[in-house]
């Protein structure tokens, strides 16, 4: 995957959300004026879903 400004920004915001930072703080850091724009980073990605399934795996 190519590193683009958009990808870097998305990764930055997703990492903040995953670290438990509040959505309003992430919005300020990202320069979003609408929390709905920032809320997209709360949706689980493929890796998030994969990790959740691994937690359910039989040992």
Please tell me whether the overall predicted TM-score, pTM, comes out greater than 0.85 for this model.
no
Tens digit of each residue's pLDDT (9 = 90 or more) over 38-52: 999 889 989 889 988
Dist CA 7 CA 24 (whole Å):
20
Helix (H) or strand (E) holding 16: helix 5-18
Tens digit of each residue's pLDDT (9 = 90 or more) over 1-53: 799 998 999 999 999 999 999 999 999 999 999 999 999 988 998 988 998 88
37 neighbors 23 (Cβ within 8 angstroms): no
How many helices (H) and strands (E) the chain has is answered by: 4, 0
């Amino acid at each position: 995957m190519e590193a683009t400004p958009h990808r870097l920004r998305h990764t930055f915001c997703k990492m903040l959300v995953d670290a438990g930072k509040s959505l309003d703080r992430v919005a300020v850091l990202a320069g979003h004026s609408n929390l709905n724009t920032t809320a997209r980073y709360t949706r689980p990605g493929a890796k998030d879903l994969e990790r959740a399934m691994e937690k359910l795996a039989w040992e």
